[in-house]
């Protein structure tokens, strides 16, 4: 990722870290023992700064690779409270996303290739932790405490489970720079079809849209919002009541 190439490969070891280690070692030698490199202290300090600058550039490239690999397996936590929902007079907030281009198709295809699956699939320790959770659920004490420790949702837990939101992290992880996605209100005159299986967030998306419609003001006044919900979702009804 240091330079643009015709064939992009981001699922790979962060070999830039080798350069970072060499630059750090060379900088230490230039400062501590400049005489070993036939340098005086002033030239040694200047050489150390040059090594550190180059090492910082390579560290930035390595961090991009490591962040991409991490997001392919687990996305960063994204939460929003009710009061944080943005309300615009001209646009409808949909969520976070990106414009899908050819490079995203290439990145997604790479995650399914056998030589790259080890970067996209859960690690062996993660799968082992999930199996232990299942087996220790009804085990005699104090073994269930181990299962609760493995399921601890904290960054300090290296095998913490994925959030129960479904889907595949790789669909968002292939683009490290997501932005807010909005829709012009003028485009809502047509019908909108949202497809998805059970418990993937269709009702939550409806809540997001309804929340903005209830809060939005036209000419300084709120408008009437009518919702037909054939499913009769109680949480949606309570959310509408609270927002209104």
Which helix (H) or strand (E) segment holds residue 123: the answer is none
Phi then psi dihedrals of residue 232, to 5 deg: 70, 45
Q: Which long-range contacts (CB under 8 A, 24 or more apart) does 205-212 make?
A: 205/95, 206/236, 207/236, 207/239, 208/85, 208/93, 208/94, 208/95, 209/92, 210/236, 210/239, 210/240, 210/243, 211/82, 211/85, 211/239, 211/243, 212/85, 212/86, 212/87, 212/88, 212/92, 212/93
Q: Are 159 and 73 in contact (CB under 8 A)?
A: no
Per-residue DSSP letter, 121: S
pLDDT of amino acid 144: 86
Burial class (CB in 10 A: 0-12, 13-18, 19+), 193: exposed
For residue 215, what pLDDT is reported? 93
Sequence-distant (6+) residues with CB within 8 A of 105 are none
- The DSSP annotation for 74-93 comes to SPPP----GGG----SSEEE
Lookup: tokens for 202: 């269709």
Per-residue pLDDT of the chain in tens (244 residues, 90 and over written 9): 555 566 788 999 999 999 999 999 999 999 999 998 888 999 999 999 999 999 999 999 999 999 999 999 988 888 888 889 999 999 999 999 999 999 999 999 999 999 999 999 988 999 999 999 888 888 888 888 888 899 998 889 989 988 877 778 899 999 999 999 999 998 888 888 998 888 788 898 999 999 999 999 888 888 899 999 988 889 999 999 999 8
For position 168, what pLDDT does the model report?
A: 85
Domain ranges of the chain: 15-73
Q: What is the pLDDT of residue 4?
A: 59
What local confidence, expressed as pLDDT, does residue 228 receive? 93
Taken in order 55, 61, 64, 68, the sign of the CA dihedral is negative
pLDDT value of position 107: 94
What local confidence, expressed as pLDDT, does residue 236 receive? 92
Compute the distance between CA of residue 69 and CA of residue 14 in angstroms, rounded to an integer. 10
What global pTM score does this model have? 0.82
Q: What is the DSSP letter of 204?
A: H
Residues in the chain, total: 244
């Amino acid at each position: 990722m240091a330079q643009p190439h015709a064939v992009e490969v981001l699922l790979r070891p962060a070999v830039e870290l080798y350069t970072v280690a060499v630059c750090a070692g060379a900088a230490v030698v230039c400062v501590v023992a400049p005489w070993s490199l036939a340098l005086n202290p002033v030239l040694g300090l200047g050489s150390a700064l040059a090594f550190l600058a180059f090492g910082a550039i390579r560290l930035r490239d390595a961090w991009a690779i490591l962040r991409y690999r991490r997001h392919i397996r687990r996305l960063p936590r994204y939460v929003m409270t009710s009061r944080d929902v943005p309300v615009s007079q001209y646009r409808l907030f949909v969520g976070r996303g990106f414009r899908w281009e050819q490079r995203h198709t290439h990145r997604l295809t790479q995650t399914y290739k056998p030589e790259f699956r080890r970067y996209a699939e859960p690690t062996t320790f993660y799968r082992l932790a999930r199996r232990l959770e299942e087996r220790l659920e009804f085990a005699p004490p104090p073994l269930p405490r181990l299962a609760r420790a493995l399921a601890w949702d904290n960054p300090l837990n290296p095998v913490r489970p994925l959030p129960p939101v479904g889907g595949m992290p790789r669909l968002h992880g292939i683009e490290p720079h997501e932005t807010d996605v909005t829709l012009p209100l003028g485009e809502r005159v047509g019908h909108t079809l949202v497809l998805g299986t059970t418990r993937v967030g269709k009702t939550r998306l409806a809540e997001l849209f309804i929340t903005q419609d209830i809060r939005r003001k036209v000419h300084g006044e709120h408008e009437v919002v009518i919702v037909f919900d054939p499913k009769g979702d109680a949480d949606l009804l309570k959310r509408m009541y609270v927002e209104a």
